[in-house]
Structure 1
């Protein structure tokens, strides 16, 4: 147990002398401070203090208790400090015993591999050893981590300094890099001193303390702006540097920051460095624009361009389905996407190859312009999304994903482009319902399908949870279908989606009420967990840093091992430095990549007349000083699972919402879409039984073999004649239309 004004804080196995008033109980303290019952194991990796202990969900009788010896009664914030990872439990029950009772808090230990501190709440405690925190094992899946519990006094009269916006530059240092660490440090009186404490491992054990300054001469911005800075000198390669900050005010109140760390590599790691280039404005509409875009990206070490190739049901390429965009300025035969690919992929003379990810606006299909005769709304007006009263918005028209024709059209458009062009990725935008006022999604075909599936009639109520689930499912099945169909054609092509960050519902408990999930029915967390996407291209457009950081961390914690490419709204920021700080924060938190919205509007919000040239100068100096290639997703180039997909038909009629599963693979159950299509992802190689069920039809079973990881195996199932008697099963019979077709990776 450690307490007092000047104490030794332990982190990542190193000792850091810092100003602090926390009372810390560590799993290494032993009884009576820390007791454990049942089967526990000692970690081989570092935690908040030294190593930590863990128990498996298979031993529900195990538990542990942290018991502090508090120097005085008062109000304390209780915090759990531990290392998160992707094998952790999402529900560790923590029982806090305090002066007036007990409270049970569910602790989510799942997430990106990093040491974190999580608040369990604020409670009144008596002096001494009466209070405690107990972790129980509910048997919920995952590993339970026991490391440190911190009691932090909150009723001390004088408020301790606040340390926020801790950043380092460069965020991913390589050999010979000095690292400037800055933070905003404020206090209700005066900050007397601030310090940076760091240690290098190996060998570890020795801590260096540097004083931080707010004088404009230590990488801290301007003098007196409450931003403090200090510089960690270059360290040898293959070392981990762990550091934290401390501050004390002129009345003796003190605080420390969370420990952070970085690894010094030989070269910078691969990273997505993207920029969106919309086609409403000058971007790649003629040769000169395209060359300026590519040259600027190369000069500033941006490795991926995301050009908008479909904005309102039009095409900035040679489409077989949709009309040519009317604002292409390069001449009647100029192919914007084709030329951009030609110069971006050109590596002659040592030029760096840029990736090009084609950006498709999916459901928002018109903004009131005169429609070409080949436009989808002219060819298929029945696909349009309506409000509950049957009306639409003439200035913001949408396709309805509840109509099977919408999904088939959208996928055909993208696959047409994919087959013709050597694009490196596909970026989906407006893959959701409208955000404008009114209940949307009432296309008659979608309503009829919903009523048939749920056994209802009439117009669904906008408050019906089944209706919300239906619309969310329609979008999710469209994303999954595109992922599978694109994989069949070009497995290496990366699929991302532009996802929304509206509001502040970025916690496990509030996500189901978020604007993304409950408002526009965009369950991007579910898409990542189910591997319908390769990366989340979060549109994290915010000037409020707390909201920006909250959504960044939520995406990183829920990208399920795929990755998050965090996009900033540069056009909103009042200064270039705000944009740089947001990019650096996302990288420091472990983002797979960074994205900028958008080409041409980078300094639109600047209040001091900053220029685009200044923006790119800051970008190359602070964020992208050297070139790195984009990552190569392991699950694309060396997959360890395959995919089973196909169609369920009754004769020639698609069977909507049949249940399909692999009996030997728990959790594989899915439903067919409006065209009878199904897809089951993450199938390990092996032999399986495909089971197809639909009320009123015989249950059908078919043999399926996934021979190799990366294979897509197509198995179509033709359901047998409906039955009117009791449920009948038919096993090991190949029905009419049943076939299996493998597709190699």
Structure 2
């Protein structure tokens, strides 16, 4: 896998001429996959999605960038992934002007209808960015449907989940709705401290549950679509899973991506392994994060995402060589900023891209024209939902074989959904809240179990026995 990220913060996607030039440049570089920014801040660089079009004065009126990229890239034999900032809601310095935008209907001023992620003091800006809270069931449903609308309406080869996490800092998730739900599901009292382990674990599970729902719904619609995530590699790399659980990725932004690969949630893990070889320790950090990702890959493909914008083309060449030599694919960030001289020193994008192309492809460079034609792993999966008495979230669900062997367990999300993504073929028994349901998995794909009605019945206290009785 040889890929290139194409972001929407500069030239590349705004007009038909830009898209044609970008696809031509990518073909000359020899990449076989484009990760095209589609959902940026709860808005779309496309016309047929449930979220409004992006507000951008450089975006040609009525132009559909995603549709154009698909047409031109597919003609060149390249795959196209719709890259989505899942929890991104907006930027206060550059707001979307559509009255249908989520910040107009469920923004910071919407009171109990706000879906915005907050700190304990109620603040919600990270710099100028505003995030959605995955712990709010309605917000999670909105994010799921946004992605599905793209999958449903465009012939994408894959989707990539970006910003599928909490913001940096650890003290997020304090929207009133998320707190109320946490108390309801766990019995906790008061407001948890940001360092409370149970609270941290609960929030981390909200992100994984959101990934699980997106994955299962996408595979129901189009089983051939790849599911990818752009994953965090903060700080020194871990040697094993125990070490990963001490990392900022796991404990701060609450992104448990090794669990996603091992459970079978994602088919392609693209590390945002943005290291600079000239910074002390970064060469080793880059190599060891790649090594760790391979060790927990499950059935997933793994690619090293490198920061073209932070490095010279020669360093990008060396990083790519090391990644490919270790057995990973490669993705460069980004088309708009193909080298540090473009990003920081005023070099033009066309000039920087040409220097990068020569470095990666000529004189024994590592980027040769390669076909990436593998398909996602074949899986037997099950999606279901509990309905009825609150709370719907946090309920334990088991999948067992016909003879009662426990195959997998999970918990329901805030909307009552549960799912198992990699089960054996045959009869599966689902157990949840005292109910059982049997489902036959006879063909690859996602089977939809019927909704299960849950009625919580309180247990009457035992009568006290009188004397002599």
Of residues 23, 46, 53, the one that matches 1:294 is: 23
Distance 2:446 2:125 in 1: 43
Distance 2:28 2:125 in 1: 43
Distance 1:662 1:404 in 2: 24
> Who is 2:352 aligned against?
611
Alignment of 1:476 with 2:219, yes or no, is: no
Distance 1:288 1:371 in 2: 24
Pairs within 5 Å for 1:632-651: 632-633=374-375, 635=377, 639=378, 641-650=379-388
Question: Which of the two has higher C-alpha Rg?
Answer: 1
> Who is 2:439 aligned against?
704
Q: Secondary structure at the match of 1:339?
A: helix
Q: Are 2:219 and 2:446, in contact at CA under 8 Å, matched by a contact in 1?
A: no
Distance 2:458 2:352 in 1: 71
Q: Are 2:310 and 2:340, in contact at CA under 8 Å, matched by a contact in 1?
A: yes
Q: Secondary structure at the match of 1:331?
A: coil
> Who is 2:188 aligned against?
456
Residues 688 and 324 from structure 1, CA distance in 2 versus in 1: closer, same or farther, beyond 3 angstroms?
Answer: closer
How much has 1:713 moved relative to structure 2? 3.6
Pairs within 5 Å for 1:299-310: 299-310=28-39
Pairs within 5 Å for 1:205-354: 272-327=1-56, 329=58, 331-346=60-75, 352-354=76-78
Distance 2:6 2:461 in 1: 58
Q: Are 1:535 and 1:559, in contact at CA under 8 Å, matched by a contact in 2?
A: no
Cα distance per residue 1:140-192 (max 9 Å; x no partner): xxxxxxxxxxxxxxxxxxxxxxxxxxxxxxxxxxxxxxxxxxxxxxxxxxxxx
Distance 1:625 1:274 in 2: 10
Residues 407 and 617 from structure 1, CA distance in 2 versus in 1: closer, same or farther, beyond 3 angstroms?
Answer: same
> Who is 1:365 aligned against?
89
Q: Are 1:319 and 1:413, in contact at CA under 8 Å, matched by a contact in 2?
A: no
How much has 1:611 moved relative to structure 2? 3.2
> Who is 1:602 aligned against?
338
> Who is 1:571 aligned against?
309
How much has 1:534 moved relative to structure 2? 0.6
How much has 1:725 moved relative to structure 2? 4.3
Residues 431 and 726 from structure 1, CA distance in 2 versus in 1: closer, same or farther, beyond 3 angstroms?
Answer: farther
Distance 1:283 1:670 in 2: 41
Distance 1:426 1:654 in 2: 31
Q: Are 2:170 and 2:253, in contact at CA under 8 Å, matched by a contact in 1?
A: no
How much has 1:477 moved relative to structure 2? 0.4
Residues 449 and 510 from structure 1, CA distance in 2 versus in 1: closer, same or farther, beyond 3 angstroms?
Answer: same
Distance 2:299 2:437 in 1: 32
Whose strand proportion is higher, 1 or 2?
Answer: 1
How much has 1:340 moved relative to structure 2? 1.1
Distance 1:510 1:494 in 2: 29
Q: Secondary structure at the match of 1:668?
A: strand
How many residues are matched?
A: 438
Alignment of 1:506 with 2:238, yes or no, is: yes
Q: Which has the higher contact order (CA 8 A, sep 6+)?
A: 2
Distance 1:383 1:355 in 2: 34
How much has 1:438 moved relative to structure 2? 6.2
- What is the TM-score of this pair, normalised by structure 2? 0.89
Of residues 652, 656, 676, the one that matches 2:416 is: 676
> Who is 1:620 aligned against?
361
Alignment of 1:387 with 2:387, yes or no, is: no
Q: Secondary structure at the match of 1:663?
A: strand
Structure 1 segments unaligned to the other structure (5+ residues): 1-271, 347-351, 694-698, 728-745
Distance 2:442 2:83 in 1: 34
How much has 1:605 moved relative to structure 2? 4.4
Q: Secondary structure at the match of 1:715?
A: coil
How much has 1:318 moved relative to structure 2? 1.1
Residues 320 and 596 from structure 1, CA distance in 2 versus in 1: closer, same or farther, beyond 3 angstroms?
Answer: closer
Structure 2 segments unaligned to the other structure (5+ residues): 108-113, 277-281, 463-469
Alignment of 1:724 with 2:464, yes or no, is: no
Alignment of 1:423 with 2:156, yes or no, is: yes
How much has 1:500 moved relative to structure 2? 1.0
Quick check: 579-588 or 705-714, which moved more? 705-714
Of residues 373, 397, 407, the one that matches 2:130 is: 397
**Root mean square deviation of aligned Cα:** 2.1
